[in-house]
Every structure is written in structure tokens, then in C-alpha cells.
Amino acid sequence: MDCPKCGRYLGEGMLPARCPHCGANLSNPTDSIRGSKAAASRKNVEGLTGIGKGNTQNKRRRYFQVCVGIILVVAFGALLYYATSGFGTEGELSVPDLVGWNRDRAEEELASLGYTAVVEDVLSEDGSSGLVVSQEPEPGTPRPKFSEVILRVSTSIAMPDIVGRPWPEVQAELDSQGIAYEATEQLSSEAEGTVLSSSITSGTAIGRDDVVDIIVAKRPIVPDLSGLTPDEASSKLTVLLLKLETQDVLLEGDQKAGTIVGQEPAAESAVAAGTTVVGKVACTPDEFYTNAAMAALNAVYNTSPADDGIGAALLPLLSSESEFAGQSAHDVWWNLVKRGGRYADQPAELQSLPRSIVDAKLSIDPEKREVSATVTVDWDWTGLPGAGAKSSQDTRTVTLTFDKEGKLLGFYDEQTDVPFFKVNE
């Protein structure tokens, strides 16, 4: 069919409402049959091609479906964002301030907010335990859900029992537990390195700021006493909690009389506090034998000889070469001093009268190592029943012999240690 206006061929069958070339109205009101056919054809074409009004109900349905789809996509995106970004219905989430909270409560709080708690134990400052002392990140820091929050929780340590234990062992234990300490050495008779005391008793809870003061035993080291006088040596040893005992030796070579020329234990020896150091003092022959003789005379005549006290005093002075060496205190007194019981018929009280030396004059023969002594003795009679006197004095001659080390070999008193019977009223 051709367009009645422009003459263009429009094809056969259904016709469009208007000519697509000139826009002419192809509806013919005079041709009812042809018009009705054209109208029907136009309705169909509009529904298929979208040119003209088409089907309005279908358009609305498609619009509604598109809108619903967009809404669903937006809702799903928002839900996904909420789940992964840390934002919620109340706005942006941030890490809460948990410092000072109990550990269990802090962990529960983080879990309720979707965080994972990581706990690190730290030694507390004041001995408290189980409290959050710091956290990471800091309070108020934005943090996605399911993130880790570090809680540093205070813990205390019970002070271990360290007194009496070796210091190296104690030191290793304290270091492993992070306990601060200050150790000070102190001279002691305990074994070297033994812990003597602790400022914090065992079992006490201690914190990071606590410092334990520890005293560790130190054995004194014997100093070199060579060339010192006895007084100087004694002062030096006293500082180290050591004692001095002097022993006379004969002067040799260029040694200086009155000074220490040898010692036991040797210098640099580690010893216990309270140890006695023997200092050997160089003496001239006169000094040497005078000192040896007076030690023996004092043991016999300057004493109260109860319970074999004289023999006990003589034992350390006796030479190993003496015939009386190895005897008991009583036998040394009875055999050496009393000459085997001379005057044994005298009362026992008379045998053991308290006595004291008033004067002693010595004559020394260094070659023979012999001393002759004239001794004036005061005798105390007050303890003798029925004596009727307070005291008496007598003078006697005593001969003493020594070995080369100044040890006593013999002691001879004609009267023994029994007084003459001249009494002073």
C-alpha cells in the first residue's frame, strides 16, 4: 500500500497510524472497514514497537520491579558495611577504657563489643593482681570489630624463701621472676656466698616497684701481717672480724724485733669470721725466754688452781719433747710441778691455795735455753678452815727449761707450789 500523501510504499498487511516518511494520518474515516483494520493494526504495532501509547499497565509493573531491586541492593550493601566496618546503630565504635577493670570483666566487655582480648601479664607496681593496668590501642581509638585488643593485667609474685641459700642460685631465681634486688656483702662465719637476710620476708606479695635488699655472706680474707706490730695487726684483723694471737719466735737475720715475721693462716686465705690468726713476733733471746718463763710462772703462781686449773694452763705451754707431754692436766700439775707428789701429806686445801705473784726476777741463759727465776708469791689463806690467817708471802727459786721454740720442757721448785709455813697475821 502507498501513502496517499507522499506516495511512498508502506508495505502490505498492518499499517502504521501515520506514515513514517511524511507523518500523514493514514486513518480513513470514510473507509470504515479499512479504518477499523488500520486501527487494529496500529494498536498491535504500538504494543510491539513502543511507538504510540502501547500497554501502560506493563510499564508500571516494570518500574515497580526496578525500584524494588534497587532498594534490595542498597539494603544488602548497607548490611554488609555494618557487619565489617565497626559502625553500628549508635554511630562509630571505639575501644572502651578498661584500665583499672578486673580482668574477667574487661574480657567480657570486649567480647560483647565484638573484640578479641589478648591478655599479657605484667608485674604490678604495688603487689596487686588481676587488674588491667594498660591497654593497646588506647581508649577511644576506632577499631573494627573482631580486632584484637591487648590487655596488660597486673600480677604479683610471692617473695621466695632465699635465706640460707647460695647467692648464685638465688640471683638466677630472682632474675627469672623479674624481682628487683640490691645485694650487699657482709663478713660472716657462714659459707661464702650464703644469703644471710632479706628485707622482704618469704611469701610476701611484691610488685614492680619493690626492691629487695639482700645481705650475702663474705668470708674474710686474711691480710698480710708481715712487719706489723701486734697492736697494728690486731686492729687490722678486728675490722675483718678476725682475732690475733701472738707467738714469740727468736729473732733471725735482719728481722725487726717486736714485729710479725710469720702467720697462720697465710695471707690471702679465706676464713670464717671469728677465726684466730697466729702472728709470730720476732723477739730477742732475752725477750723470748722472759716471755716463755713468765707464761709458765703465771700458770703456776698467779691463779686459783681449782679443778686442776694449773695443769690445764700448762698444757698449751708444754713442749712435745717433754716427758710429761700427752698426760692429763692433773698429771702434768702433779708430776711436773709437785714433783710426783712431794708434800703430798699436806692437806688438799693447802695444795690448792689461791696465789699471786708479787715480784719475779729472771736470769736467762740463752745457750742452755734455761731461766732461773726468783719469785715472791702471796698466798691467800682465807678459804682454809681454821687457818686463822688471811695471807702469807714467801720467795722461792724456780728453774725452767725450754726447747728451741720456747716450749716448756722442765719446771722445778724445791718447795713445789706449796707455801712455806710462815704466816702473816
More confident residue, 157 or 246: 246
More confident residue, 340 or 158: 158
Confidence tier at 15 by pLDDT (50, 70, 90): low
Q: What was the pLDDT predicted at 329?
A: 93
Counting residues of the chain whose pLDDT is more than 70, the rounded percentage is 83
Question: How many CA atoms are closer than 13 Å to the CA of 263, on its beta-carbon side?
Answer: 26
Q: pLDDT tens-digit profile of 236-272? A: 999 999 999 999 999 999 999 999 999 999 999 999 8
Q: What percentage of the chain's residues is helix, strand, coil (to nearest 5)?
A: 30, 30, 40
Cell of 106: 574487661
Among 5-19, 21-35, 206-220, 398-412, the least confident range: 21-35
Q: What was the pLDDT predicted at 82?
A: 53
Q: What was the pLDDT predicted at 146?
A: 86
Cell of 141: 581509638
Confidence tier at 334 by pLDDT (50, 70, 90): confident
Q: What is the CATH number of domain 91-155?
A: 3.30.10.20
The CATH architecture to which 290-413 belongs is Roll (3.10)
Q: What was the pLDDT predicted at 320?
A: 95
Answer whether residue 418 shows pLDDT above 90. Answer: no
Q: What is the CATH number of domain 230-283?
A: 3.30.10.20
Counting residues of the chain whose pLDDT is more than 90, the rounded percentage is 52
Confidence tier at 32 by pLDDT (50, 70, 90): very low
Beta 116-123 vs 148-155: how paired, if at all? parallel
* Alpha-carbon dihedral sign for residues 382, 415, 331, 348: negative
Bridge partners (DSSP) listed for residue 370: 365, 401
Highest mean pLDDT among 44-48, 204-208, 369-373, 410-414: 369-373
Q: How many helices (H) and strands (E) does the chain have?
A: 9, 17
Answer whether residue 90 shows pLDDT above 50. Answer: no
> Are domains 91-155 and 163-218 of this chain identical in fold?
yes
Measured CA to CA, the distance from residue 221 to residue 236 in angstroms comes to 11
- Sequence-distant (≥ 6) Cβ neighbours of residue 155 within 8 angstroms: 121, 122, 123, 124, 129, 130
More confident residue, 87 or 151: 151
Q: How far is CA 69 from CA 62, 73, 84, 137, 327, in A?
A: 11, 6, 23, 41, 125
Q: pLDDT tens-digit profile of 396-411? A: 999 999 999 999 999 9
- CATH number 3.30.10.20 is the correct assignment for the domain at 163-218: yes
Nearest-CA neighbor of 371 among 284, 297, 421? Answer: 297
Q: What was the pLDDT predicted at 54?
A: 46
Where are the chain's structural domains?
Answer: 91-155, 163-218, 230-283, 290-413
- Sequence-distant (≥ 6) Cβ neighbours of residue 24 within 8 angstroms: 3, 4, 5, 6, 18
Confidence tier at 8 by pLDDT (50, 70, 90): confident
